[in-house]
Structure 1
Amino acid sequence: MAPPNHGRNGKHSKPPRNNARTLKRKRDEEHLASLTKRVEELDVKASPEGFSDLPLSQPTQDGLSASHFKRLTDIQSKAIPHALKGRDILGAARTGSGKTLAFLVPLLETLYRKQWTEYDGLGALVISPTRELAIQIFEVLRKIGRHHTLSAGLVIGGKSLQEEQERLGRMNILVCTPGRMLQHMDQTAAFDTDHIQLLVLDEADRIMDMGFQSTVDAIVDHLPKERQTMLFSATQTKKVSDLARLSLRDPEYIAVHEAASSATPAKLQQNYVVTPLPDKLDVLWSFIRSSLKSKIMVFFSSGKQVRFVYESFRHMQPGISLLHLHGRQKQGARVDITKKFSAAKHACLFATDIAARGLDFPAVDWVIQVDCPEDADTYIHRAGRTARYERNGRAVLFLEPTEEAGMLKRLEQKKIPIEKINIRSKKQQSIKNQLQNMCFKDPALKYLGQKAFISYVKSIHVQKDKEVFVVKDLPLEEYAASMGLPGAPRIKFIKGEDTKTRKNAPRQLAALSSGDDTDSDGGEHKKKKEEPVVRTKYDRMFERRNQDILTEHYTKLINDDGTAVTDSAVDKNKADADEDNDFLSVKRRFDAGDEELGAGSDDDSDASKPGIKKIQVTGSEPLLIDSHRREKLLKSKKKLLKYKGKGSKLVYDEDGNPHEVYELEDEDDFKQRGSADAQRAKFLELEAERTRLADIRDKEIAKQKKRELKEKRKERARAEREAGGAAVGFLAPPGEDAEGDVDVSAAEDAPPSKKQKKWFEDASGNEQDKKSGGRSKRPRKAGADEPVEVQTLEDLEALASGLLG
């Protein structure tokens, strides 16, 4: 039978327009109702073994399977059922037991069942104490929530605040650190926290301590009261005040390992080594050198120590990759270092306590705690970086002898089994000399060492447990030498523990404590040696000697008529004033002329008294030494100048004889020699005669020098003629020889002319006719004995033309 043929106007049965979308929505609603029902029927007392046994949504199941999470750990099997039902949880479990999934899975499921979308705003907030742990939580959330439509963000310090503000309003889940979260709550306008459904605090005991107390309180004030709150940590807080601050409602306390014999993983082997403080770096270096094929984490108490040890060991090249992690690094560097250490097979990471909580570094073989942790909880978290997820691991704690008893007692109270091991002294190497050489050559490394030393001592000083940490018992000088430093740096913040007590104690009590004591022999009271007490400025004032009550101004009194007050009057006034010898009595009194130390008395009888010395000071009267103050005076050259008189300035003449700068003559002696005009005339006459004699003497010296010069010239010319024949000068003028030297005999016979004549002057000194061109045609005729004077080249030319013509 053929199917009916529908005509053009036949009616077709069309499916609904949005049938597929409607069916999908219906399936989702049925699945959500079924999931909600399964959660309500879930038995929290049962212990499921796998994630498939839990009422989880399909996107969560797919994310867990893709991340290879199948079996539940103890904390997960007990905490997740309570969390799925919306109860508040206090979860405590050993390190490496999977606490991260214990709160991330319920977080995703709660938002999924409430059909949370990006338009609903922020629905869950996860707070972590460190940036590294927040990054790790965010990475796990991305893996298991990859199939959900929820948006998640990471809000930590070290990144651009503006970029976070632009994206913050579209996030459904935020993983953050407390400081950055509070900054956004206060500064980001579009950030709304009124609809948060879940609040999770990882490492809750660390977040709730004094370091984050005010920040967490401010964050909680921004959150709604009706919400689910979960707290997880290896060392959980149980303080009622902390729980009240977070507004927890009948929380479920889940401690899976509380009844266990140990608070640390069973496969974690724990040991401690009693190491004196100066030997710690030597032991650490020797250990690293003997464990080059291992993955090691080394914990210090401060970032400056981490940097110093890292730089020092890096220069010495132990043969293993070295890394360092501390809070002073930039965020990018911290992320790179954590990734490098996670991927490394053999490496050594020096770190502070920022790496002690929650971080999951795979396959860590050793955890070395060079500095003693502040308490047993910190030890648990540090040692928990190894032996994670039922793997083997070893932890070693370095204890100073003064810390051993107290720290072992704290660990025993926390049920931490730890055994003592010894170091093989044959394998221990000393690096003290190497560090000294490095610090000597590199001032920057020396500076790092000084800062590391101070930061270590400060970290010990601020610890609350004074039974374990006692700064004054530490060998700090030897520790500084072991770091290569030339000496222990000065530490300002360390003072004696009894300083405040001693300062506030009454002085009378201190005097009584050092007072009389009974002698065992005769039973008599004998005073012990007085201990130094605190002296005020008034005590020192009353102990002064050699001073009078009256000041210098009042010791120089004058009468009404202008005469000085006599010593007897002053003594009488003093006697009247000092009737009571016990009050401000003066032992000795000096004259007013010696204001500072007291001048020697005119009475010679003082020098004859026993115990008084008389010392003669140059140029002054003898100085009496009758007190300790006077003896000290002899040691001061500056104060002795007062008793040596005024000095005089001298000048020295050419012969080295000293003279006064200004030698003034007595006026009477000056007048006896005559009037001032007569003495002035006589002085001028004497000075003129002295000047004439000096002029004659100078001329004789000049002639002698000129004669010596001529002799030298003749000697030189004679030497040249003997040497070989110098050419005879052409037309040498009379009075000069062939070499151009002046004839000495002719020059000596001729009388000295008073004035030398120029070439343009005649014998009478008149200027010649200007028509001759200013030049004489014929030389001046000279007598037979008169020498011809030649002054210039023109004279020579005129002389030559006369001889030729």
Structure 2
Amino acid sequence: MVAPGYTGRTRPTKLKKQAGAQKRKRDDVDVEQLDEAVLQLDLKDGSYKDFTDLPLSSATKSGLKSAHFSVMTDIQAKAIPIALKGHDILGAAKTGSGKTLAFLIPVLENLYRLQHIGADAGLGALIISPTRELAIQIFDVLRKIGKHGHMFAAGLVIGGKSLEAEREALTRMNILVATPGRILQHLSQTAAFNVDDLKMLVLDEADRILDMGFQRDVDAILEYLPKERQTLLFSATQSRKVSDLARLSLQEPEYVSVHAEDKSATPKSLQQNYFLCPIEEKLDMLWSFIQASKKKKILCFFSSAKMVRFVYESFRHMQPGISLLHLHGRQKQGARLDVTTKFAAAKFSCLFATDVAARGLDFPAVDFVIQVDCPEDVETYIHRVGRTARYNREGRGVLFLAPSEEEGMLKRLEAKKVPVEIINARQKKKQSIKSQLVHMCFKDPELKYLAQKAFTTYTKSLYIQKDKEIFNIRNYDLEAFAASLGLPGAPKIKFVKDGDDKKRKQQSRQELEMSESSEEEAEEPSSKKAKTVRTKYDRMFERQNQDVLADHYRKLVQDGEPDAEENDFTGATRADDNDDFLAVKRRIPAEVADAVMEGTTDDATKGKVVSLPGASQPLIIDSNRREKLLQSKKKLLKHMDKGKKLVYDDEGNAHEVYELENEDDFRAKGLPEEQRKKFLNAERDAVAQADVLDKEAAKAKRKEKMRKRKERERVEAEAGAASEDEEGGLEISNEDALANFRADADSIKDEEEEQAPKTGKKWFQSDSEDDAAPSKKRKKGKSARHVEEPQTLEDMEALAAELLS
């Protein structure tokens, strides 16, 4: 019997099994005590300052203690007690005020008091974030706090991950942190995913999720969720629109705003300034700023991903002396996660980013936030500048404003209580990088292509802005901006025809035709042209062949002067122009291999006629695909004349290998069927004549063979007659007869070898078996034996008799 206090195990118990055994014990759950304490919370008191003052579970308290959270911020002190009681919340607080804990703690505590644990309980809480990086950050905070005793199964559902792995794990999840697009995909495609028992819905950065970008996804997600639930909305700039609140089915929500009465909508420790900087000097100003702040942590915001890529690649080639990173939405998920991790861990670094990094991300110790491109509205400005001066730390925000943007943007910042002061740059420290960018774009075609895409995307971002008082595309010097990127000229851009587009769209076809005809008559009263209605089918058949793969690149290059009928800035364009944002032209290289092409321009229906050396017919350039042929030697060969192979007759005249007969001469010979019969008869006669010649040659060959055989028999007969003479008489001619006999024997042997067919060796025969191989005669019963050379007359007679027999 084992002594008390001992388990009898010879090996130590594993730590993982011990932890698992503790997790399975649920006897000490203090749900009833927590419910009573929550009911006794006084929401009007507001004297809660520490997390220990709130009725929280021991697991949550230990998680907060391990993460070094002890004192609550203002938004946490007001929002957590209300959320613990189960009320819906609209929470608004400045950036960096701790909104993440304000909704994570109620999620853990409410599900803990309901004991919504295990795979059978289903999904209890859904937290939706607008970006993947913010969702990852929320999940990390949830894991840090909840891993000290809570038994919830929590998951992260974002794009860029394996869809099948997420489907397998969704059925076991109690808490999910997700982005709108991916959670909607699972709700519509994953059959086993059930949200009927959802208790809490949290929208972080609610103003971004409820705007036009995610409106359809959020509306579709809400259709799957139950109406009876607790909803929490948190953001730095909270929306209080009745339409938004009605969409979410909020039930008597509590509006929690801790900084509504403050004089500033941004933290007090944040110093905000702006530069007056034309767009053509932005890169010079940014480079000079980075050179003067190498021992700082800088975050730079741009309006487009292509602009981020171009600035990152060009600055990286110039080696500014500080580590550079870039972050935008077109990167893969792994690369985005690596960039955020590196920038968060770096002491001195510079990150170029789009608005993907503008919301919710907590990068520690950011010194400067530089907004190189003007934000679309004040809310975006507040979220961008909120990446610094977090948790009462100091920080500085710098905004680059063009002269045309200054008045409108400052007016809107003042209306939102955002204090911004103007500063001037030191001209001594200002550096120009235009020549370096020109040199790099000249040497690197890929960088030049990036510069072209950066120009077009930035210009388009200015054009589509809603606030035309700030962003008026005609107030920018686009040619100078293209030159500042290192481009030899600005890509051609086509704008809307005139300002009253809505009015033109609402007009009927008759009114539109009348207005156009009146304009034409006013311009040219003498010319009266019949105006026909052009339908979409007419436009479809008027289209020419176009490149499919290179279309996006052809829009970047302008060749030649703009047409006289077209003016980009006034908006007057030809009637047959389409409504594309960019005009399409492609630059043709000046040099074409081994040829100097001479082009003549005909009317618009014929296109451009190009004469190619070596081609009898000219090449008509009537489409973009045919225009591209001029760049390829291989494709131009198809339009060249084929080469001719010549043969020479006995007189030395050159003729083609295959010459066609003259048509008149061919018809003079008769009908084709008659000529065919004549040809067949002539060929038949030639074949019969060849057969006669072949038979005569075969007959002559047989006669020659017979003659040789008779001659051989005669020699053998003479040799036999000589053997019957006396011995003495033969001794005189013994040597001569023996020599003649040997010669005849050798000739006979050679003829037999020529007549005998040669047979190949079998696969099992070797070269050494050639001498020992039996002949056909030996197979008939004659055995081979060795014949010695005759020495005397008797030997010669015996050999002759044997051969005759």
Give the CA deviation at 1:510. 8.6
Q: Which one-letter code corresponds to 1:176 in the other structure?
A: A
Q: Secondary structure at the match of 2:403?
A: coil
The aligned residue for residue 146 of structure 1 is 147
**For residues 109-258 of structure 1, what are the structure 2 equivalents within 5 Å?**
109-118=109-118, 119-147=120-148, 148-258=150-260
Q: For the pair shown, which has the larger CA radius of gyration, 1 or 2?
A: 1
Residues 150, 429 of structure 1: CA spacing in aligned structure 2 closer, same or farther, 3 A cutoff? same
The aligned residue for residue 586 of structure 1 is none
Deviations 1:483-516 (A, max 9, x none): 001111122455443577689677887999999x
**For residues 288-327 of structure 1, what are the structure 2 equivalents within 5 Å?**
288-327=290-329
What is the rounded CA distance, in whole Å, between the counterparts of 2:308 and 2:524 in structure 1?
44
Deviations 1:378-421 (A, max 9, x none): 00000000000000000000001111000001100100000000
Contact 1:123 1:196 in 2 (8 A): yes
Residues 68, 472 of structure 1: CA spacing in aligned structure 2 closer, same or farther, 3 A cutoff? same
What is the rounded CA distance, in whole Å, between the counterparts of 2:202 and 2:525 in structure 1?
60
The aligned residue for residue 621 of structure 2 is none
What is the rounded CA distance, in whole Å, between the counterparts of 2:524 and 2:483 in structure 1?
34
Give the CA deviation at 1:47. 3.0
What is the rounded CA distance, in whole Å, between the counterparts of 1:421 and 1:70 in structure 2?
40
Residues 533, 473 of structure 1: CA spacing in aligned structure 2 closer, same or farther, 3 A cutoff? farther
The aligned residue for residue 59 of structure 2 is 59
Residues 511, 44 of structure 1: CA spacing in aligned structure 2 closer, same or farther, 3 A cutoff? same
**For residues 349-368 of structure 1, what are the structure 2 equivalents within 5 Å?**
349-368=351-370
Q: Secondary structure at the match of 2:441?
A: helix
Q: Which one-letter code corresponds to 1:131 in the other structure?
A: R
Q: Secondary structure at the match of 2:95?
A: coil
**For residues 757-772 of structure 1, what are the structure 2 equivalents within 5 Å?**
none
Q: Which one-letter code corresponds to 2:88 in the other structure?
A: D
Residues 495, 438 of structure 1: CA spacing in aligned structure 2 closer, same or farther, 3 A cutoff? farther
Contact 1:168 1:191 in 2 (8 A): yes
Q: Which one-letter code corresponds to 1:125 in the other structure?
A: L
Residues 364, 493 of structure 1: CA spacing in aligned structure 2 closer, same or farther, 3 A cutoff? same
The aligned residue for residue 484 of structure 2 is 482
Give the CA deviation at 1:482. 0.5
Q: Which one-letter code corresponds to 2:31 in the other structure?
A: L
Residues 506, 100 of structure 1: CA spacing in aligned structure 2 closer, same or farther, 3 A cutoff? closer
Residues 193, 539 of structure 1: CA spacing in aligned structure 2 closer, same or farther, 3 A cutoff? closer
Aligned residue among 407, 413, 432 for 1:411: 413
What is the rounded CA distance, in whole Å, between the counterparts of 1:106 and 1:52 in structure 2?
14
What is the rounded CA distance, in whole Å, between the counterparts of 2:268 and 2:527 in structure 1?
64
The aligned residue for residue 95 of structure 1 is 95
Q: Which one-letter code corresponds to 1:206 in the other structure?
A: R
**For residues 521-670 of structure 1, what are the structure 2 equivalents within 5 Å?**
531=523, 537-538=529-530
Q: Which one-letter code corresponds to 1:71 in the other structure?
A: V
TM-score by length of 1: 0.61
Q: Which one-letter code corresponds to 2:36 in the other structure?
A: K
Aligned residue among 276, 282, 285 for 2:284: 282
Residues 48, 276 of structure 1: CA spacing in aligned structure 2 closer, same or farther, 3 A cutoff? same
Q: Which one-letter code corresponds to 1:319 in the other structure?
A: G
Residues 510, 50 of structure 1: CA spacing in aligned structure 2 closer, same or farther, 3 A cutoff? same
Contact 1:298 1:348 in 2 (8 A): yes
Aligned residue among 456, 459, 476 for 1:457: 459
For these two proteins, the number of residue pairs brought into alignment is 504
What is the rounded CA distance, in whole Å, between the counterparts of 1:152 and 1:510 in structure 2?
64
Give the CA deviation at 1:164. 0.5
Aligned residue among 441, 444, 452 for 2:443: 441
Q: Secondary structure at the match of 2:102?
A: helix
Q: Secondary structure at the match of 1:189?
A: coil
Residues 71, 500 of structure 1: CA spacing in aligned structure 2 closer, same or farther, 3 A cutoff? closer
Q: Secondary structure at the match of 1:305?
A: helix
What is the rounded CA distance, in whole Å, between the counterparts of 1:261 and 1:533 in structure 2?
64
Residues 437, 56 of structure 1: CA spacing in aligned structure 2 closer, same or farther, 3 A cutoff? same
What is the rounded CA distance, in whole Å, between the counterparts of 1:220 and 1:101 in structure 2?
24
Deviations 1:605-625 (A, max 9, x none): xxxxxxxxxxxxxxxxxxxxx
Residues 534, 337 of structure 1: CA spacing in aligned structure 2 closer, same or farther, 3 A cutoff? farther
What is the rounded CA distance, in whole Å, between the counterparts of 1:420 and 1:275 in structure 2?
11
Residues 122, 532 of structure 1: CA spacing in aligned structure 2 closer, same or farther, 3 A cutoff? farther
What is the rounded CA distance, in whole Å, between the counterparts of 2:412 and 2:405 in structure 1?
11
The aligned residue for residue 41 of structure 1 is 40
Contact 1:461 1:494 in 2 (8 A): no
What is the rounded CA distance, in whole Å, between the counterparts of 2:184 and 2:323 in structure 1?
38
Residues 122, 508 of structure 1: CA spacing in aligned structure 2 closer, same or farther, 3 A cutoff? closer
Identity %: 66
Contact 1:47 1:78 in 2 (8 A): no
The aligned residue for residue 652 of structure 2 is none
Deviations 1:279-326 (A, max 9, x none): 001000000010000000000000000000000000001000000000
What is the rounded CA distance, in whole Å, between the counterparts of 2:502 and 2:33 in structure 1?
70
- C-alpha root-mean-square deviation of aligned residues, in Å? 2.3
Matched, 1:380 2:382: yes
For structure 1, the residue ranges without an aligned partner over 5 or more in a row are: 1-19, 516-529, 541-805
Q: Which one-letter code corresponds to 1:78 in the other structure?
A: K
Residues 538, 513 of structure 1: CA spacing in aligned structure 2 closer, same or farther, 3 A cutoff? closer
What is the rounded CA distance, in whole Å, between the counterparts of 1:143 and 1:399 in structure 2?
41
Give the CA deviation at 1:178. 0.2
What is the rounded CA distance, in whole Å, between the counterparts of 2:296 and 2:198 in structure 1?
45
After alignment, is 503-512 or 382-391 more displaced?
A: 503-512
Q: Secondary structure at the match of 1:402?
A: helix
What is the rounded CA distance, in whole Å, between the counterparts of 2:117 and 2:500 in structure 1?
63
What is the rounded CA distance, in whole Å, between the counterparts of 1:238 and 1:408 in structure 2?
24
Residues 111, 281 of structure 1: CA spacing in aligned structure 2 closer, same or farther, 3 A cutoff? same
What is the rounded CA distance, in whole Å, between the counterparts of 1:533 and 1:281 in structure 2?
51
Give the CA deviation at 1:269. 0.1
What is the rounded CA distance, in whole Å, between the counterparts of 1:213 and 1:24 in structure 2?
44
Give the CA deviation at 1:472. 1.3
Q: Which one-letter code corresponds to 1:348 in the other structure?
A: C
What is the rounded CA distance, in whole Å, between the counterparts of 2:354 and 2:223 in structure 1?
31
Q: Find runs of 4+ consecutive structure 1 residues off by over 3 angstroms.
A: 23-27, 492-496, 498-515, 530-537
Deviations 1:663-722 (A, max 9, x none): xxxxxxxxxxxxxxxxxxxxxxxxxxxxxxxxxxxxxxxxxxxxxxxxxxxxxxxxxxxx
What is the rounded CA distance, in whole Å, between the counterparts of 1:131 and 1:502 in structure 2?
42
TM-score by length of 2: 0.61
Q: Which one-letter code corresponds to 1:410 in the other structure?
A: R
Q: Secondary structure at the match of 2:151?
A: coil
Q: Secondary structure at the match of 1:193?
A: coil
Q: Which one-letter code corresponds to 1:89 in the other structure?
A: I
Deviations 1:539-567 (A, max 9, x none): 89xxxxxxxxxxxxxxxxxxxxxxxxxxx
The aligned residue for residue 74 of structure 1 is 74
Give the CA deviation at 1:534. 12
Residues 190, 471 of structure 1: CA spacing in aligned structure 2 closer, same or farther, 3 A cutoff? same
Q: Which one-letter code corresponds to 1:36 in the other structure?
A: D
Give the CA deviation at 1:427. 1.0
Give the CA deviation at 1:536. 6.9
Q: Which one-letter code corresponds to 2:76 in the other structure?
A: Q
Give the CA deviation at 1:116. 1.4
Deviations 1:117-157 (A, max 9, x none): 11201100000000000000000000000120001000000
What is the rounded CA distance, in whole Å, between the counterparts of 1:92 and 1:256 in structure 2?
7
Contact 1:436 1:483 in 2 (8 A): yes
